[in-house]
Structure 1
Amino acid sequence: MAPGLPTAMDRPHFIGIGGAGMSGIAKILAQRGAKVAGSDAKDSPTAEALRSFGATVHVGHAAAHLADDASCVVVSSAIREDNPELLRAAELGIPVVHRSDALAALMDGLRPIAVAGTHGKTTTTSMLAVTLGELGREPSYAIGGDLDAPGSNATHGAGEIFVAEADESDRSFHKYAPEVAIILNVELDHHANYASMEEIHESFETFVGRIVPGGTLVISADHEGARELTRRLDGSVRTVTYGEAADADVRVLSVVPQGLRSEVTVEFDGAPLTFTVSVPGRHYAHNAVAALAAGAALGIPAAEMAPALAAYTGVKRRLQLKGEAAGVQVVDSYAHHPTEMTADLEAMRAAVGDARILVVFQPHLFSRTRELGKEMGQALTLADASVVLDIYPAREDPVPGVTSELIIEAARAAGADVTAVHDQADVPGVVAGMAGPGDLVLTMGAGDVTDLGPRILDRLPK
């Protein structure tokens, strides 16, 4: 076994191994020499990639898939208590380990950077992974999405740095002990787990309290929720703020759009520093500045980090170009919270100018739609026209009275042009009938709306 592999995880079994977070941990364990097995509801390219690392991946969930000699069973918060493999683990007395505990164990003995916030975690974690790799630091990383380069959501690197996406949705980020923590923003989300902003702030305070002695917090100076969190801290942790605010420690002086890129200038240690971010949008530029500050906190000169950041070319589902047909570009976005929707639509508007933007939006979760449906509808006013699908339930059961109609009504009340489509099979034809040369189609949401991009391209005239 490779050094650093926890003995209790030398033969792990993952329930839901194909998930973004779970597959990353499974990959790293396999690369470290563990005998990895697991199951997922359906086969996928992710499952096939895991098999290439030597993992055994079963399709479907069944008690027989769990080997009697498994050292532990790894689960996420999405796994239900009646899962047959989980029940079998109880019968056999096999320890059950939450995904966050497994990830925390993998970071032990390294120099962790944990990236937290309501929005932008995957992008910022990816930026750090790519940039540190470009600088020859060979980091380990675990990301909630697949990079365009180097083409993986996780890897076991030979270096001493471990970059991890820190998920606040179920408070699992309380398990980590980072040397550097990034907090990009603090907003109310994940309504099934948090009842108020007070609970959100308390949770982030706990996360900050996990920073190791002598470590650093990098936090936004622009987002009010982040500023409030900074005011609540007791000053025991070294804090570096970044953003456009006049009092930011790393101040963003300008973000100049250059097509699908941006030129960013910051004031760092009293001197201007200009670099290129190879993805569009002010929010992505700010993510890059957070990554710059985190690298500096680890002792990497900003003058080295800045040019290397240009090597980051994107992560799948974060304004990812899926293709072009008949003069129409199709781009895919993971945005599912109103703030994210607004940021991505503003980024696309800056990139395409006067071209029409057509959105295909799939709401994600009944609880989120119930609480933020009006704001989602208002965000869609930034598009020239939108198609809204039914709610993608993910782990939730339906809630009476909560449908995508809440979003549609709010959008129309705000003056948006919105079409409701209930059958996804109809979407490619509807969009093909709406789009013309020069238009941009943006598929948006955290569910299976991502599958529609290629189908829309196939329906457009050749």
Structure 2
Amino acid sequence: MHNGKSHFFVGVGGSGMMPLAMILAGQGAKVSGSDRSLDSGRLPTKFDALKALGIGLFPQDGSGITSPDQTVIASAAVEATVPDMVRAAELGCARLTRAELNAWLFNAAQISIGIAGTSGKSTVTGMIAWILHSLGRDPTVMNGAVMKNFATPDAPFASALVGGNGIYVSEVDESDGSIALYSPHIAVLNNVSLDHKSLEELRQLFGDFAAKARTTVVNVGDAESAALAMALDRSRTTTFAVEADADLSARNLKPEAFACRFDLVTSDVTLPVRLAVPGRHNVANALAALGAVAATGIPLADAARAVEGFTGLRRRFELVGEANGVAVIDDFGHNPDKIGATLDTLHAFPGRVLALFQPHGYGPLKVMRRELVEMFVEKLAPDDLLVLPDPVYQGGTVSRDVTSADIVADIAASGRAARHIPDRAAAAAHLVAQARPGDRIVIMGARDDTLSLLATQMVDDLAARD
């Protein structure tokens, strides 16, 4: 794969780029990169971790690209005017997108497991990674989130595992259509709902992906996924569902504040399982992971015991801390399904929910406006409070047809408590000021790693209150 060339990642700190850089470096390739967050001094611990792996870091000014022998990897969102891209074009460097590189590694594996769906991809990937690792299968894993099972003081950003050549596990992205590049041996389809593309586009992308696999593991508890499953060969399809009939079914759910018990039911056996992560959605994620692992030949009972040891992902319903009787939770929720699942999990237990949702861009806000508003109106309790700062903006040209203020106005018109506070720090301060013992504050959003720092600061601010 490496062909003696060095690889330069433009945006090496990104959630999809960093694990790929880690995998290539772990396989012995020469890897370097740049990132605008590095240039601005944000998230220094992330870049320290990359340097500790032997990955060279440069300003995003073109200075790191010095030879036509370098392969330049950049996401499709990186503009051609970025100095690194200008320099790469001048030198005639080979260019790959993040997805093209990942698909090459994925498709070359002896066994490839691809995890698709609008929600839960990273969690299912992490669960599969932990099961395979704990059972001695030595997988290589590309995840978009830090897997807490593998994070250590020396490796705090464990979003990748570098294993042997046998099994490659990766979440696959539909948002840019790159899911079409992957040819999985085992495909997981977790769910299908509105996010970055229309439902018509998503049905085509997910359906084509599922049809390629030797074994497809499908959530028939999700209406859209169940409809796609109807077109698949039943002999090579494993179905799963929560509290519904399927090849793998979860029954008798018993939620806990930060865990969940259920019975894993098949035609042959019933196995008790206790997950160390909460929520009905995580039970569905566990069924997806168990179905995928079983397709590799691992006995289901062994996999079910192993998944109990999965400790979760960073920013997936992560309890950051508690102060003055108020818990602060950091969560990746950014589309209607993800946010709704988080709110459902919180509402399974007493206490107000004070939510800060930072939209992950103006484009997604426009696409999801109606669905976001309907979800918040349905899922927020009468005494909850929702605050929206302005969306993530990291440069470039963008249409601002729909703003956070528009979403808040629509929600408030339906009688739920919602406020638009443009500045994120001011929005967080407002929630801290409003919080009282027994409340849960949840910070939600994507494409912005500094949200975790905000959550930590809110715990400190709660502790400092009189």
- Once residues 205 and 154 of structure 1 are traced to their aligned partners in structure 2, the CA distance between those partners, rounded to angstroms, is 27
2:186 aligned with 1:166: no
Q: Which amino acid aligns with 2:419?
A: T
Q: Which amino acid aligns with 2:410?
A: A
Shift of 1:260: 1.0
Number of equivalent positions: 446
Describe the shift of the 1:461–1:35 C-alpha distance in structure 2 as closer, same or farther (beyond 3 A).
closer
- Once residues 84 and 396 of structure 1 are traced to their aligned partners in structure 2, the CA distance between those partners, rounded to angstroms, is 14
Q: Which one of 352, 357, 360 corresponds to residue 356 of structure 1?
A: 352
> Which secondary structure does the structure 2 equivalent of 1:19 belong to?
coil
- Once residues 176 and 200 of structure 1 are traced to their aligned partners in structure 2, the CA distance between those partners, rounded to angstroms, is 15
- Once residues 246 and 260 of structure 1 are traced to their aligned partners in structure 2, the CA distance between those partners, rounded to angstroms, is 24
Partner of 2:366: 370
Q: Which one of 176, 182, 192 corresponds to residue 186 of structure 1?
A: 192
Partner of 1:380: 376
Alignment of 1:363-442 (within 5 A): 363-381=359-377, 382-383=380-381, 384-393=384-393, 397-442=397-442
Shift of 1:436: 1.1
- Once residues 391 and 77 of structure 2 are traced to their aligned partners in structure 1, the CA distance between those partners, rounded to angstroms, is 18
> Which secondary structure does the structure 2 equivalent of 1:65 belong to?
coil
Instruction: Map Cα deviations across residues 295-332 of structure 1 (whole Å, 9 max, x no partner).
Output: 11110001000011011111011101111111111001
Gaps of 5+ in 1: 1-5
Describe the shift of the 1:302–1:395 C-alpha distance in structure 2 as closer, same or farther (beyond 3 A).
farther
Shift of 1:245: 6.5
Describe the shift of the 1:11–1:401 C-alpha distance in structure 2 as closer, same or farther (beyond 3 A).
closer
Verify the 8 A CA contact 1:137 1:159 in the aligned structure 2.
no
2:7 aligned with 1:29: no
Q: Percent identity?
A: 34
Verify the 8 A CA contact 1:378 1:410 in the aligned structure 2.
no
Shift of 1:118: 0.6
Shift of 1:410: 2.2
- Once residues 261 and 4 of structure 2 are traced to their aligned partners in structure 1, the CA distance between those partners, rounded to angstroms, is 44
Describe the shift of the 1:434–1:180 C-alpha distance in structure 2 as closer, same or farther (beyond 3 A).
same
2:69 aligned with 1:74: no
- Once residues 5 and 104 of structure 2 are traced to their aligned partners in structure 1, the CA distance between those partners, rounded to angstroms, is 12
> Which secondary structure does the structure 2 equivalent of 1:275 belong to?
strand
Shift of 1:284: 0.6
Verify the 8 A CA contact 2:109 2:165 in the aligned structure 1.
no
Instruction: Map Cα deviations across residues 135-183 of structure 1 (whole Å, 9 max, x no partner).
Output: 1222110000111120200021136221101111112122222211101
Partner of 2:334: 336
Verify the 8 A CA contact 1:241 1:248 in the aligned structure 2.
yes
- Once residues 390 and 312 of structure 2 are traced to their aligned partners in structure 1, the CA distance between those partners, rounded to angstroms, is 28
Q: Which amino acid aligns with 2:286?
A: A
Instruction: Map Cα deviations across residues 326-365 of structure 1 (whole Å, 9 max, x no partner).
Output: 1111001110101111101111222xx2211110111222
2:253 aligned with 1:255: yes
Partner of 1:136: 136
Verify the 8 A CA contact 1:444 1:450 in the aligned structure 2.
no
Verify the 8 A CA contact 1:120 1:184 in the aligned structure 2.
yes
Alignment of 1:181-220 (within 5 A): 181-190=187-196, 194=197, 196-211=198-213, 215-220=214-219
Verify the 8 A CA contact 1:252 1:267 in the aligned structure 2.
yes
Moved more, 416-425 or 29-38: 416-425
Verify the 8 A CA contact 2:360 2:391 in the aligned structure 1.
yes
Instruction: Map Cα deviations across residues 32-66 of structure 1 (whole Å, 9 max, x no partner).
Output: 1111011100223222211111110123x112221
Verify the 8 A CA contact 1:8 1:71 in the aligned structure 2.
no
Describe the shift of the 1:237–1:268 C-alpha distance in structure 2 as closer, same or farther (beyond 3 A).
closer
> Which secondary structure does the structure 2 equivalent of 1:392 belong to?
coil
> Which secondary structure does the structure 2 equivalent of 1:283 belong to?
helix
RMSD: 1.9
> Which secondary structure does the structure 2 equivalent of 1:436 belong to?
coil
- Once residues 16 and 168 of structure 1 are traced to their aligned partners in structure 2, the CA distance between those partners, rounded to angstroms, is 20
Partner of 2:460: 458
Partner of 1:157: 163
Describe the shift of the 1:401–1:105 C-alpha distance in structure 2 as closer, same or farther (beyond 3 A).
closer
Gaps of 5+ in 2: 152-157
Describe the shift of the 1:112–1:120 C-alpha distance in structure 2 as closer, same or farther (beyond 3 A).
same
